[in-house]
Amino acid sequence: MASAKETYRAELRSAARQLGERCLYSAAKWAAELLVGVESDAGPAASAAMDSPSSSSAASVGRLLHLHRSGEVGSSFRHRSRPGGGGSSSEVGTPLGNVSYVSTPIPDDDAFDTGGDKYLLAKTYFDCREYRRAAHVLQNQGGRKAVFLRCYALYMAGEKRKEEEMIELEGSLGKSNAINQELVALERELSTYRRTGSIDSFGLYLFGIILRDKGCEGLARTILVESVNSYPWNWSAWSELQSLCTSSDILNNLNLKNHWMKDFFLANAYLELKMHEEALKRYERLNGVFRCSGYIQAQIATVQYSMKDLDEAEVIFEELLRTDPFRVDSMDIYSNLLYAKESMSALSFLAHRVFLTDKYRAESCCIMANYYSLKGQHEKSVLYFRRALKLNRKYLSAWTLMGHEYVELKNTPAAIDAYRRAVDINPRDYRAWYGLGQIYEMMGMPFYALYYFRKSSYLQPNDARLWIAMAQCYESDPLQMIEEAIKCYERAANSNDTEGIALHQLAKLHRMLGQSEEAALLQEGFRENGS
Amino acid sequence: MNVFAGVGGGAEGTEDAPTNGGSVLPEVTPHKIAVCQLVHVFAPPAQAGGGTVPPFPFESVAHHNRLGLFLFTLTRSCEDFLEPPLEELLRKLKAVDNLTNGWLCEQLTRTLSGLTSPDDLFDFFDKLRGVLTAPEGAGVEDVLLDPNSQLGVFLRCCILSFNSMTFEGVCHILANLVAYCSSAEGSYDLAEDEDYDTEMSNLMDADIGARSGIFDKYNQGYAAESHIGESSSAHAPLSLHDFDDGNAMKTDDNPTCLRSRWQLEAYLNQQADVLEKDPSSVPLNSFNATLTQLQTLAPELHRVQFLQYLNALSHDDYVGSLDNLHRYFDYSAGMQGLFTRSVSPSQDIIVGKYESALLCLGNLHCHFGHPKKALEAFTEAVRVSQMHVQRPLVSFGPNASTKLRTCPADVCKNLRLSSRVLTDFGNDVLSTSNDNGSFSTSWLRNLSAASNSWCSSSAESRKLHKNDFDNFYYHAQPSPVPASILQLAGSTYLLRATAWEHYGSAPMVRMNALVYATCFADAASSSDLSLAYVKLIQQLAVFKGYSAAFCALKLAEKKFPSSTSSHIQLLRMQLLHERALHRGHLKVAEQICDEFGVLSSSVCGVDIELKTEASLRRARTLLAAKQFGQAATVANSLYSTCYKYNMQVENASVLLLLAEIHKKSDNAVLGLPYALASQSFCKAFNLDLLEASATLTLAELWLALGPSHARRALSLVYQSLPMILGHGGLELRARAHIVLAKCHLCDPKFSVSEDPSAVLDPLTQATEDLQVLEYHEMAAEAYYLKATAYNHLGRLDEREDAAASFKEHITALENPLNEEDSLAY
């Protein structure tokens, strides 16, 4: 058992080093964090959580969910999060049967090949963000490592220039056709290497992101799969792959080797695809081995927040912040949670802390915006959301939240615009669709609003609120389409309509139509639910 | 507070950009620099003591003016959204330049390739300033270029834009200039007209692929034009190919520089017009690709999404059009409302915009045949507008079209209101500028077409020419009212025609359709225009007989190829069916009925109107074939359908048909209640002509009950006569005349010899009308009555004439010769 954990440690240790050598900073950071996150070998039962991915049984899922759904505030989690703390290990499946994992040999390239000194120089240039200089030093250097760093440096140089150009070229029509000028040459070079077989997994990763930038998503996926199959510890490659998996069909058709890193990937992909229960299941299992990993805890908390288990999620975030006080990643989710719970003081504390840590992070701006929004100062809130979007234009939730703020400010055109941008970045964002519907309904256009409610309920068919909103449109004075309204309320009543609005309304409508029997029946059901 | 704060560019940087279509400084691009250089040649800086007029190198004032006009159109044309590459500019310039032996082209390329460092650019724009200002010691009149003219403003904008540019911007221009100049180098020499023949012959031996490549390149000017879609549908595959070609060129060689915002909007408006007029000429996917390219280049130009909506709509893509409609109106936030080109108070625009959104949604549902949803959308549009503004709104017209089916009584009031609104609107818009750039575009295009006359040997390009000249002449006088408004105004006339059709006033239908076809043809979509033609031809058939109608139909079919216009196709079948029934060619009638049946059971959706028409015609055919039982069954089931769908007009006519069936089957008593029901229906819905027709049938039924009812029948006929003679068609009038005569003849108190004209006049009139209609059965009846009357009067010769005519018609009816003729016209 302990040796398995030792294997993880050994793999991650060398991965962090190798990734760092190649200036893949965030992947190296991720590996190192995880390395420290592997539970110490003290408790013998602790590692039991890692069962093989294929042996997951439906029964254990149900049990887990039940535990998390019941309102007893996160106590089960607190137990499990303590290393060696008993109780939790019994509930998680079979002991570590590592058989189904494919072990991947760690490539050994730590020794410098020829030209090692030049590589060293190039890496220092790269570290100082002098990319073209780094690439220049490595010109005519053989060896896969040197070739990779040269290509990567060129890519980064192109990206840097692109970012600059995007600002330089921005005209009144929002023109932003700046492209990375290096892409064409790099693609040509890397595809030659791939054909001749002289490319390593890092080169494949770079090739993958270049293809993605060029819009060849299918090929990019294939290349990234090749990369992670030959070198599974590069988290950046996994997350690029994840961003290219926009539907569960694509995800299921990937031809991935069964490495333990795949579990991290799948869990994250499930979370993004809103398959929360599957995501939670995987993270719980991973948590058995990587008990001290802040990443996993943050992800678990995010899933639970998405599943509206606010209390449990809050406990985890609090714990996370205690052990890692200068963390900014995922803290925007925490701030959303605090906003939902209206914990003004906790939110202000969080905002203050991230402000001192790093105020120029999109997440930090979002937290401050949330704080002002909770304070009712919506203009200031909009200001910070806009700053967050300046830092990251594709920051989806900021667009949606800014839409909410504009609604508060009664600036409907701006709100519509903001929501629409969110929807165009991710057409599966049902909240923004719902927001659009609400605005149009507020403007007295219930018929027009129906389109948006339909979109949102299509994406989130088990959410009673969406069906109720649609029903209210149908029921509204101008439309008076009672039959359709009844159908929607029925859908809502069959979903998780905890407040019983749908039943109540159904009874009312049936009575209106003179169907008193149905009304009485529903009233009864309502009373039973209420008691 | 500015309501758009923060929406404008999606980034803080553009927050202070003008929002309501105010003038934005154009970006300086290589193409603009080239035009500036040409302006400099056109109006060289004034020299102390005055220069020569015209300046060097122009030979005459006309020559000089030609360059001026060329430059003017360059800054206004909107044939594409990208600025043309240098190669194309040079080719066009050659048409102006032939007098100076290519001096202009050479000078331009030399100047452009001389701009290699930032300082060169500074000097260049310094030099330009001299064009606009007089040097010391010279009078103001020495300056050739008025700073307030189109070119003057253009030049000033460019200079200002350059002066406010950052150093990075200058570097970008230099990089773009290199690409711009190099794009022309490869093929510039080839483009010499006189060299072309020798080049061509040299190439004959060479590899064919290479030759076609060069040819394509040479033709690149056309590539940019042909996907505009002004040419006919035969161009569709060609333009697809050209698009790819042009695209490859643009991305590889020429820096992608957008034209000015004004030109882009004009381009989009032009495309929208094309889409609306003749959607089949625009291939869905390639135009979508064009729009996507434009959208990536100008993400904040939201009108592109509206074009995407139009494109999807005109190609019957429901989901695509719905999504793009909502996206456009979500984004534009009132800044690019449908009709707004002027700066108006923002609140106004916003409401106008959401109302436009609902109107478009309603139109969309109309287009896809969802009348209920369309009605909801229109009603909501009216409600929203009432909630927010006092200004009258344009939604009555479309609203009427959907209401027409259920309650025609409301329509006229609405229409009258809408025309007043449109007048107001016209006044609003008149104050704004209406040059939409098409004049400049076609001038420029014709210029290059003329200079490239060698390639007109191919059929396509000749067609292109012709179309262009058409466009040139038609649009030479810019219309004072934008096309969209014209279209809306026109459709009120069409609606009015339809409304009158229901009320039953033929002259009013004719007048409104005529007004539409003559006054609004330019702005109308082909489908609307064909509808107006259909109405006019139907009128012809009813009033002038079939030969006239079929003549007109032939013309209409030439104008609207049957593949594109279902209206015309339907009309053809209607006319053929009517004529076959009248001639007694029952087999043909049945055949056409079957065709109707096939059309109405179409796989792409149920058109309830078509379905009812098919059954109605089937019932009438059965009636003509004397299959009374079957005819009644069909009519009965049709009645229940019409009742179910609230189709009041059809209800009344089906009831009338049932009365007719009973009358023909000699069951007058059973027919009476149907006729009465039809009559009261018509009264309730003000369907005057149909009511008169029902009254006439009632008279016939009474008459069939015996001579004792002749008086009552006569009074009913008199009651209906004014309406029928004033508004009815040939058939109805003839019927009324015959019934009138029959009443007299049946009346025991009436004696023919006392008042022969009371019987003979109507009968003569009837026979004349029926002759035109080729309605054998009724004509025979009229001649029979006529012969009887003459017999009573003892006028034997005339009696024999009438009897001979009677026999002729009966023979034609009973032994139909050449039935197949009925399918020809």
Tell me the mean pLDDT in the region B457-463: 36
Say if A171 is an interface residue toward chain B (CB within 8 Å): yes
Predicted local distance difference test score (pLDDT) of residue B396: 46
Q: Taking CA atoms, what residue in B is nearest to A420?
A: B330
Low-confidence ranges of chain A (pLDDT < 50): 1, 43-99, 531
Distance of CA B508 to the CA centre of its chain: 22
Distance in angstroms (rounded) separating the CA atoms of residues B800 and B543:
29
Predicted local distance difference test score (pLDDT) of residue B774: 84
Structure tokens at B393: 């709104």
For the entire predicted model, the pTM comes to: 0.66
Q: Taking CA atoms, what residue in B is nearest to A444?
A: B384
Q: Taking CA atoms, what residue in A is nearest to B9?
A: A174
pLDDT, tens digit (0-9, with 9 covering 90-100), for A85-103: 333 333 333 334 444 677 7
Predicted local distance difference test score (pLDDT) of residue B393: 44
3 state DSSP class of B70: helix
Structure tokens at A458: 């299509």
**Cis bond leading into A105, ω under 30°?**
no
Distance in angstroms (rounded) separating the CA atoms of residues A392 and B749:
100
Predicted local distance difference test score (pLDDT) of residue B563: 59
pLDDT, tens digit (0-9, with 9 covering 90-100), for B206-251: 333 333 443 343 344 333 333 333 333 333 333 333 333 333 333 4
Q: Taking CA atoms, what residue in B is nearest to A479?
A: B376
How many interface pairs between A and B have CB atoms less than 8 angstroms apart? 108
Residues of B in contact with A411 (CB under 8 A): 3
Predicted local distance difference test score (pLDDT) of residue B253: 54
| Alpha carbon of A151: minimum distance to chain B alpha carbons (Å) | 23
Say if A479 is an interface residue toward chain B (CB within 8 Å): yes
Interface test with A, best of B353, B380, B402 (most A CBs within 10 A): B380
Predicted local distance difference test score (pLDDT) of residue B53: 65
Tell me the mean pLDDT in the region B463-488: 47
Say if A421 is an interface residue toward chain B (CB within 8 Å): yes
Predicted local distance difference test score (pLDDT) of residue B125: 92
Q: Look at residue B459 and tell me whether its pLDDT is greater than 50.
A: no
pLDDT, tens digit (0-9, with 9 covering 90-100), for B414-434: 555 555 554 444 444 433 344
pLDDT, tens digit (0-9, with 9 covering 90-100), for B542-560: 888 888 889 998 888 888 8
Burial B370-385 (b: 16+ CB within 10 A, else e): bbebbbbbbbbbbbbb
Predicted local distance difference test score (pLDDT) of residue A283: 94
**Ranges A138-147, B262-271, B457-466, B516-525, most confident:** A138-147
Say if B794 is an interface residue toward chain A (CB within 8 Å): no
Of A382, A436, A479, the CB nearest to B330: A436
pLDDT, tens digit (0-9, with 9 covering 90-100), for B623-639: 988 899 999 999 999 99
Say if A530 is an interface residue toward chain B (CB within 8 Å): no
Q: Do B166 and A445 touch (CB under 8 A)?
A: no
Q: Look at residue B402 and tell me whether its pLDDT is greater than 70.
A: no
Phi first, then psi: give them for residue B433, nearest 5 degrees.
-70, 140
Give the contacts of B704 (CB within 8 A, at least 6 positions apart).
Answer: B663, B666, B668
Structure tokens at B693: 């027709």
Residue % of chain B over a pLDDT of 70: 69
Q: Do A168 and B172 touch (CB under 8 A)?
A: yes
Residues of A in contact with B172 (CB under 8 A): 165, 168-169
Q: Taking CA atoms, what residue in A is nearest to B299?
A: A174
Residues of A in contact with B361 (CB under 8 A): 448
Predicted local distance difference test score (pLDDT) of residue B17: 36
Q: Do B3 and A414 touch (CB under 8 A)?
A: yes
| Alpha carbon of A438: minimum distance to chain B alpha carbons (Å) | 13
Q: Do B7 and A175 touch (CB under 8 A)?
A: no
Q: Which runs of E-coded beta strand occur in B19-146?
A: none
Say if B24 is an interface residue toward chain A (CB within 8 Å): yes
Q: Do A478 and B380 touch (CB under 8 A)?
A: yes
In 3D space, the residue among B750, B723, B724 whose CA is nearest the CA of residue B735 turns out to be B724
For residue B258, what are the β-bridge partners?
B82
Q: Look at residue B594 and tell me whether its pLDDT is greater than 70.
A: yes
- B-facing residues of A in 197-256 (CB < 8 A) are none
DSSP A51: -
Tell me the mean pLDDT in the region B700-729: 89
Residue % of chain B over a pLDDT of 90: 14
Query: CA angle at residue B326 from B324 to B331, to 5 degrees?
Result: 95
Q: Do B380 and A417 touch (CB under 8 A)?
A: no
Q: Taking CA atoms, what residue in A is nearest to B297?
A: A175
Say if B257 is an interface residue toward chain A (CB within 8 Å): no
> Which stretch of B23-37, B668-682, B722-736 has the lowest confidence by average pLDDT?
B23-37
Residues of A in contact with B333 (CB under 8 A): 413-414, 416-417
* Residue B823 pLDDT level (bands cut at 50, 70, 90): confident
Beta carbons of A518 and A510 less than 8 angstroms apart: yes
- B-facing residues of A in 437-456 (CB < 8 A) are 443-448, 451-452
Q: Taking CA atoms, what residue in B is nearest to A171?
A: B27
Residues of A in contact with B176 (CB under 8 A): none
Say if A427 is an interface residue toward chain B (CB within 8 Å): no
Chain position carrying tokens 């020794």: A111
DSSP B26: P
Predicted local distance difference test score (pLDDT) of residue B645: 81
Predicted local distance difference test score (pLDDT) of residue A100: 64
DSSP collapsed to 3 states, B33-47: HHHHHHHHHHCCCCC
| Alpha carbon of A395: minimum distance to chain B alpha carbons (Å) | 12
| Alpha carbon of A88: minimum distance to chain B alpha carbons (Å) | 48
Q: Do A448 and B380 touch (CB under 8 A)?
A: yes
Distance in angstroms (rounded) separating the CA atoms of residues B15 and B7:
8
In 3D space, the residue among B322, B330, B262, B256 whose CA is nearest the CA of residue B295 turns out to be B256
Beta carbons of B437 and B76 less than 8 angstroms apart: yes
Which long-range contacts (C-beta less than 8 Å, at least 24 apart) are formed by A252-258? A254/A221, A254/A225, A255/A225, A255/A229, A256/A225, A256/A228, A256/A229, A257/A102, A257/A104, A257/A229, A257/A232, A258/A53, A258/A54, A258/A100, A258/A101, A258/A102
> Which stretch of A220-234, B329-343, B448-462 has the lowest confidence by average pLDDT?
B448-462
Tell me the mean pLDDT in the region B354-382: 81
> Which stretch of B74-78, B366-370, B470-474 has the lowest confidence by average pLDDT?
B470-474
Residue B324, CB-side half-sphere exposure with 13 Å CA sphere? 23
Q: Do B296 and A177 touch (CB under 8 A)?
A: yes
| Alpha carbon of A519: minimum distance to chain B alpha carbons (Å) | 29
Give the mean pLDDT of chain B.
73
| Alpha carbon of B40: minimum distance to chain A alpha carbons (Å) | 27
Tell me the mean pLDDT in the region B500-511: 78
Of A168, A173, A414, the CB nearest to B168: A168
Predicted local distance difference test score (pLDDT) of residue B78: 77
Say if A393 is an interface residue toward chain B (CB within 8 Å): yes
Structure tokens at B636: 């009965």
pLDDT, tens digit (0-9, with 9 covering 90-100), for B650-679: 888 999 999 999 998 888 899 999 999 999
Predicted local distance difference test score (pLDDT) of residue B361: 86
For residue B82, what are the β-bridge partners?
B258
Say if A390 is an interface residue toward chain B (CB within 8 Å): yes
Say if A106 is an interface residue toward chain B (CB within 8 Å): no
Predicted local distance difference test score (pLDDT) of residue B146: 80
